[in-house]
Structure 1
Amino acid sequence: MNDLLYVNGGNPLRGEITVRGAKNFVSKAMVAALLGETPSVLRNVPQIRDVAVVRGLLELHGVRVDADDASGTLHLDPSDVEIAHVADIDAHAGSSRIPILFCGPLLHRLGEAFIPDLGGCRIGDRPINYHLDILRQFGAVVEKRPQGIYLSAPRRLQGTKIALPYPSVGATEQLLLTAVRADGITELSGAAIEPEIMDLINVLQKMGAIISVDTDRVIRIEGVERLEGYQHTALSDRIEAASWASAALATGGDIYVRGATQPEMTTFLNTFRKVGGEFVVDDEGIRFFHPGGDLRSIQLETDVHPGFMTDWQQPLVVALTQAKGLSIVHETVYENRFGFVDALVGMGATIQVYKECLGGRPCRFGQRNFYHSAVISGPTPLSAADIEVPDLRGGFSHLIAALTAKGTSQVRGISLIDRGYEHFMDKLTALGAEFSRD
């Protein structure tokens, strides 16, 4: 795939696009199918690279996957689950963290699991060790070997009590996928309760799991011996919907996002309106548009759900470069999420980043050496530039900036955007964007 896009910006995006199931849920629901003794059916699945990676990993483990791409339906049959060759997993997964989430289900189904060593510079040791520590608490034996990490469960995994220091989505997913078939009761305090987590709980409950969620972020799971397959329609991708909404705001456009749903986006919609954007919700989706006049500067703090989602922050910052006054954005979820603003500054934006907690409460990054607050002064016209995509969400934000800027920008590394945005170039065409490839 050619990784370079020429974007001729400065024109409003107008039209209709469709958003399907949430990337952050669909991949985990596919892994959950491993836990069932009978086939599962997952609907509203987007055609994105993360889904292809998980499908390949499932097939390596003996799961039969049949896909109807037009309808977005996956049939997953785990009747013949087996251990995959670690070299195949390594080659297929790349830097994906998904193999870690296979461990709990494979330990229940086969008594063992093998994953490549995903440590070092590719994703860092701490996330892996965090997952492995959780598996150890259930009774898994973890052995590091030259090719990777071998896990075994000499006896049935046992329920446990775990308190998270921070509501980590990945840790909560790992615990849910492991606890549902463990012996006894598992209690997780400090759990993440994002909509994608709640939808994973819906799936597991359909399969036969017994899970309760208390108002104090405590999840209790009563382990069962057997789970069946599920039939489920994935919740909509609130990150993609908000990304297109921010694109409408930044370019002065009008985009109807079919498939977008209000309940998961309440916090974003409030902020969108405060900035000066307008939206109309109907039974099929949400229309996002710039009503004319000046956009307003805001003070914003990201947080875990039900706060303002960290993945919404980067696309919205591009729109805030077009707002009148000083906007303050305090990032409290990820420590290094403002690297993408360098490209915006190069295009003419006035953005300064700080290590201090600005405009809100102190957060866990406040006494550490991270640039996690930003002050955006606007409105500033953006000019075309050569841009290198840094990551999935930063990359889409750069794409919005290129669409907002006057002139033709070169955007490199666009294949990263395919990880989480289905057919994004077809959608750009549908919205009247001007772009080309070599």
Structure 2
Amino acid sequence: MSSVLTIRGGVPLSGKVSVRGAKNLVPKAMVAALLGSGPSVLRNVPEIKDVEVVTSLLRLHGVRVERDPHTGDLTLDPQDAKSAASADIDAHAGDSRIPILLCGPLIHAIGEAFIPDLGGCRIGDRPIDFHLDVLRHFGAVVDKRPGGISISAPKGLKGAKIALPYPSVGATEQVLLSATRAEGITELRGAATEPEVIDLIAVLQKMGALISVQTDRTIWIEGVPELGSYTHKALPDRNESASWASAALATRGDIFVEGASQRDMMTFLNVYRKLGGGLQIEDDGIRFFHPGGTLSPLVLETDVHPGFMTDWQQPLVVALTQADGVSIVHETVYENRFGFTDALRRMGATIQVHRECLGSVPCRFGQRNFLHSAVISGPTKLHGADIDIPDLRGGFSHLIAALAADGVSRATGVDIIKRGYEHFTDKLQALGADFDLEERA
């Protein structure tokens, strides 16, 4: 089955939506349960595709996963963990990159792991080399086999000194999940310190892990022979919150995002205000609205935390097409994140992409032929178009553009959006969007 979304744009989005646990934390916290000796409980879990994928993978490996029908809380019991057939892992993983993070916990739990060839969003190379190098540092043996990679550690995982060439979130998580039960001390330099990483550390600490985060992006992990269970409420999804904020601005709407957290969105909120967006911050969420008048252009660079997050960039670019003047966005995290602008140009946006670093500091993509800077001129009137959703954030950005545009847009491939946006069509309906959803065989 595939879904086709027909959107009749030009209607300001207005109302309330709720966000739950972060897509970039919840699947990793679920994987962490494999490290424990008893059942863990994870709260504030969204109903998204990535959670379904990890649930299936954990169950394949003998982990009992149960969802409370009233609260949505997950109970994860790893006490009967076992090996799984590679064909089954491949079938359940689909195009998700999550299986790579099961490796360390599976080696600790059952002595081996297999991961299929991995897919994921088409926003850059996102190589798994970092992950495999990390596992080798811990003493794992990595064997390439037809359809995937087999990983084992005959002598167990040992603590290691690791320096990442770039503060990769995924590689940092791999170190954390592998090092907590490795023998000895692990030193990780150049670590990512995003809020979702810190929340994963909180989960592991609840289980009995010994982890300290230094001010210079160094993380120390003292391995322990056994971990217990956890009960944890996942931090809210700041990426979904920012996406709805951009939707409010692009459609000249007014959206209260229940669950949005000021603490984890401060950089975004500053940029949103400079652009001219209206904010009202409450204890239980944030109201994002277009205050009327013109929006101001921006010069913006994405960066690792605490910089402006790359996942915030794509939805905000849609709002920048409505700013009065020229905006510049320099993408420094993923080298191919401006592919989504092709559809925006077909909808009437004036966007040029460049190979040069159009930012204050040259980045690692400079002089490497990557189209990683964008110049957006506005305001431009957007019009409806046919769209094929390319990836998660770019796809939601296309929906925002279609909602802001005059006329009718038809979006195919919208199932990708279910990976990270819980019940997004229900939320669009609650905000007054005019659309039809058709399921096709």
TM-score range, shorter chain: over 0.9
Partner amino acid, structure 1, of 2:178? T
Q: How far apart, in 1, do the equivalents of 2:126 and 2:313 lie? A: 24
TM (normalized to structure 1)?
Answer: 0.98
Q: How far does the alpha carbon of each residue in 1:122-177 deviate from its partner, in whole angstroms, 9 at most, with x for none?
A: 99987223211111110111222234322221112110000011100010000000
- Which residue is equivalent to 2:72? 72
Q: Are 1:433 and 2:425 an aligned pair?
A: no
Partner amino acid, structure 1, of 2:326? L
1:339-358 equivalent positions in 2, closer than 5 A: 339-358=339-358
Q: How far apart, in 2, do the equivalents of 1:121 and 1:228 lie? A: 34
Q: How far apart, in 2, do the equivalents of 1:121 and 1:327 lie? A: 26
1:102-251 equivalent positions in 2, closer than 5 A: 102-118=102-118, 127-251=127-251
- Cα distance, 1:111 vs. partner? 1.4
Q: How far apart, in 2, do the equivalents of 1:356 and 1:118 lie? A: 30
Distance 1:401 1:408, change over 3 A: same
1:38-437 equivalent positions in 2, closer than 5 A: 38-118=38-118, 127-437=127-437
Q: How far apart, in 2, do the equivalents of 1:121 and 1:50 lie? A: 13
CA contact (8 A) 2:108 2:181 kept: yes
Q: How far apart, in 2, do the equivalents of 1:316 and 1:131 lie? A: 30
Distance 1:214 1:85, change over 3 A: same
Distance 1:382 1:368, change over 3 A: same
CA contact (8 A) 2:89 2:115 kept: yes
Distance 1:124 1:243, change over 3 A: closer
- Cα distance, 1:242 vs. partner? 0.2
Q: How far apart, in 1, do the equivalents of 2:125 and 2:257 lie? A: 38
Q: How far does the alpha carbon of each residue in 1:287-346 deviate from its partner, in whole angstroms, 9 at most, with x for none?
A: 000100000001000000000000000000000000000000000000000011111111
Q: How far apart, in 2, do the equivalents of 1:2 and 1:98 lie? A: 23
- Which residue is equivalent to 1:14? 14
CA contact (8 A) 2:328 2:373 kept: yes
Ranges in structure 2 where 5+ consecutive residues have no aligned partner: none
- Cα distance, 1:13 vs. partner? 0.3
Q: How far apart, in 2, do the equivalents of 1:38 and 1:282 lie? A: 37
Q: How far does the alpha carbon of each residue in 1:213-251 deviate from its partner, in whole angstroms, 9 at most, with x for none?
A: 001000000000000010000000000000000000000
| SS of structure 1 residue aligned to 2:128 | helix
**Aligned pairs, number:** 438
Q: How far apart, in 2, do the equivalents of 1:76 and 1:227 lie? A: 14
| SS of structure 2 residue aligned to 1:437 | strand
| SS of structure 2 residue aligned to 1:360 | coil
Q: How far does the alpha carbon of each residue in 1:353-383 deviate from its partner, in whole angstroms, 9 at most, with x for none?
A: 0000113210000111100000000000101
Q: How far apart, in 1, do the equivalents of 2:299 and 2:287 lie? A: 24
CA contact (8 A) 2:124 2:337 kept: no
Give the % identical residues.
71
Partner amino acid, structure 2, of 1:296? S
- Cα distance, 1:2 vs. partner? 3.9
CA contact (8 A) 2:97 2:119 kept: no
| SS of structure 1 residue aligned to 2:324 | strand
CA contact (8 A) 2:96 2:120 kept: no
- Which residue is equivalent to 2:4? 4
CA contact (8 A) 1:16 1:258 kept: yes
- Cα distance, 1:115 vs. partner? 2.0
Q: How far does the alpha carbon of each residue in 1:11-36 deviate from its partner, in whole angstroms, 9 at most, with x for none?
A: 11000010000000000000000000
CA contact (8 A) 1:47 1:69 kept: no
| SS of structure 2 residue aligned to 1:88 | helix
CA contact (8 A) 2:121 2:391 kept: no
CA contact (8 A) 1:119 1:125 kept: no
Distance 1:340 1:274, change over 3 A: same
Partner amino acid, structure 2, of 1:294? T
Q: How far does the alpha carbon of each residue in 1:184-206 deviate from its partner, in whole angstroms, 9 at most, with x for none?
A: 10000000000000000000000
CA contact (8 A) 1:95 1:123 kept: no
Q: How far apart, in 1, do the equivalents of 2:296 and 2:149 lie? A: 51
Q: How far apart, in 2, do the equivalents of 1:359 and 1:25 lie? A: 30
CA contact (8 A) 1:330 1:360 kept: no
| SS of structure 2 residue aligned to 1:390 | coil
- Cα distance, 1:263 vs. partner? 0.5
Q: How far apart, in 2, do the equivalents of 1:168 and 1:421 lie? A: 23
Q: How far does the alpha carbon of each residue in 1:66-106 deviate from its partner, in whole angstroms, 9 at most, with x for none?
A: 00254221000001000011000000001211111111011
Q: Alpha carbon RMSD of aligned pairs, Å?
A: 1.6
